[in-house]
Amino acid sequence: MPHAAERLVVIVLFEGVDLLDVTGPPEVFSLARRETEEASGYQVVLAAESMDPVTTSAGVRLLPDLTFGEAATKSIDTLIVPGSVEVDGDRGVRALVDPGLVSWVKSLAGRAHRVTSVCVGAHLLAAAGLLDGKRATTHWSTASQLAADHPAVEVDADPIFIRQGDVWTGAGISACLDLSLALVAEDLGEAVALRVARQLVMYLKRPSGQSQFSVPLEQISTTRRIEDLRHHILRNIGEPLTVVDLAAFAHVSDRHLTRLFKTELGTTPHAYIESVRVEKARHELESSDATLERIASACGFGTTDTLVRAFRRRLNTTPTEYRRRFRVPQVR
């Protein structure tokens, strides 16, 4: 029998569900119970439509602890809704949304103190009307689908997780651990969450402001000319890289270069270059002890003042604060 002070966490289980979305959060909650001196902790259960084994997207079979109907009779502290995708076209993916499952999610949410989604589980919350008028995130690969299917939801594909009152949405894959750590921090305090992060060998506990995506690695369908420009920018990020220089490299006019960036990347050459520079600076701040002056020079900012302004504009923080939060300890 669970301790009276335990928080009941119900994870929604269904055929084809992403395995890590289901198994990641329980690991965090289990370690939280071990790391706290309090008797209180978490009771995590898997709920499905029936008690039959469920096969995940990875082919691993999981056994439910109770049915949706049984879960709907309980007082739920945290409802966790994972997701599932199918391959859609040329290596693209599409979030799957089953109407019957959506109905159960809506019903269970009415019994829960807080509701969370992991990865593309946000599509199920949105279909249940739980994200209307709220800002939400999901895995970057299905963010455009979420925005198109649910115009009442303010979709932000950048953060690791977003909290809007008692509704939390998380980004993809390992971000389920970040979201779960944030829940632990709210329940048991930052100190416990940090101890859990160390046990998970997560060298840093990322807050919701951390981006889930790296600009230079973004998979964008573009022409060969733009791809060549993007690689040229990466290779020469420490150089001035003016519009005139880039236009000469691409053998087009300045005006045509600006049109190409706007059409294919949805931004200006200057803004794209700054985003790549910020990304490189982030990596340097996370992985090296280089001074801000050296990082500013290596990334093409020229001065630390320009570096600081770019960080404030794009990340709403300073390079020094970013390093303090996200610096990865070096193993010696």
DSSP for 226-252 reads HHHHHHHHHHTTTS---HHHHHHHHTS
Catalytic annotation present for 119: yes
More confident residue, 326 or 126: 126
Q: What is the pLDDT averaged over residues 105-126?
A: 97
Amino acid at 305: D
Task: Flag whether 157 is in a domain.
Answer: yes
Which of 134, 168, 199 is the endpoint of a domain?
199
Apex 167 CA angle, 169 and 45, nearest 5? 80
CATH of residue 131's domain is: 3.40.50.880
Which of 161-170, 179-188, 210-219, 323-332 is the least confident region?
210-219
pLDDT digits (tens, 9 = 90+) for 152-163: 999 988 788 899
* Residue among 248, 250, 221, 216 at smallest CA distance from 235: 216
Q: Does residue 231 share a domain with residue 93?
A: no
The answer, yes or no, to whether residue 217 has pLDDT greater than 50, is no
**pLDDT in the model for residue 230:** 87
Q: Does residue 305 share a domain with residue 192?
A: no
Task: Flag whether 331 is in a domain.
Answer: no
- Percentage with pLDDT > 70 across the chain: 88
- Token pair 């003042």: residue: 305
Q: What is the pLDDT averaged over residues 260-270?
A: 87
CATH of residue 234's domain is: 1.10.10.60
Catalytic, out of 11, 81, 115, 119: 119
Would you place residue 189 in the very low, low, confident or very high pLDDT band (cuts 50, 70, 90)?
confident
Q: Does residue 166 share a domain with residue 18?
A: yes
The answer, yes or no, to whether residue 278 has pLDDT greater than 50, is yes
**pLDDT in the model for residue 258:** 93
More confident residue, 217 or 287: 287
Q: Does residue 11 share a domain with residue 104?
A: yes
Q: Does residue 233 share a domain with residue 157?
A: no
The answer, yes or no, to whether residue 130 has pLDDT greater than 60, is yes
Which of 199, 230, 260 is the endpoint of a domain?
199
More confident residue, 320 or 207: 320
Q: What is the pLDDT averaged over residues 131-143?
A: 92
**Cα-flanking dihedrals φ and ψ of residue 11, to 5°?**
-105, 125
Averaged pLDDT of the chain: 87
Per the structure block, which two tokens stand in for 216?
């230079």
* Residue among 76, 48, 63, 81 at smallest CA distance from 176: 81
The answer, yes or no, to whether residue 132 has pLDDT greater than 90, is yes
How many CB atoms neighbour CB 302 within 10 A?
12
Would you place residue 192 in the very low, low, confident or very high pLDDT band (cuts 50, 70, 90)?
confident
pTM of the entire predicted model: 0.67
Q: Does residue 225 share a domain with residue 189?
A: no
Q: In the chain, how many domains are there?
A: 2
Q: Does residue 148 share a domain with residue 222?
A: no
Q: Give the range of the structural domain holding residue 50, as residue numbers without chain letter.
A: 7-199
Task: Flag whether 28 is in a domain.
Answer: yes
* Residue among 148, 118, 164 at smallest CA distance from 22: 118
Q: What is the pLDDT averaged over residues 239-262?
A: 93
Task: Flag whether 221 is in a domain.
Answer: yes
Which of 166, 199, 232 is the endpoint of a domain?
199
The answer, yes or no, to whether residue 331 has pLDDT greater than 50, is no
Q: What is the pLDDT averaged over residues 287-314?
A: 94
**pLDDT in the model for residue 36:** 80
Which of 64-73, 189-198, 230-239 is the least confident region?
189-198
Q: Does residue 232 share a domain with residue 95?
A: no
DSSP for 142-159, please give it: GHHHHHHH-TTSEE--SB
**pLDDT in the model for residue 205:** 52
* Residue among 72, 157, 154 at smallest CA distance from 119: 157
Task: Flag whether 208 is in a domain.
Answer: no
Per the structure block, which two tokens stand in for 293?
């002056």
Which of 54-58, 69-73, 216-220 is the least confident region?
216-220
The answer, yes or no, to whether residue 2 has pLDDT greater than 50, is no
**pLDDT in the model for residue 202:** 65
Q: Does residue 254 share a domain with residue 176?
A: no
**pLDDT in the model for residue 220:** 46
- Percentage with pLDDT > 90 across the chain: 61
Task: Flag whether 209 is in a domain.
Answer: no
The answer, yes or no, to whether residue 219 has pLDDT greater than 50, is no
Q: Does residue 187 share a domain with residue 75?
A: yes
Q: Does residue 224 share a domain with residue 195?
A: no
Q: Does residue 236 share a domain with residue 191?
A: no
The answer, yes or no, to whether residue 145 has pLDDT greater than 80, is yes
Q: What is the pLDDT averaged over residues 77-88?
A: 93
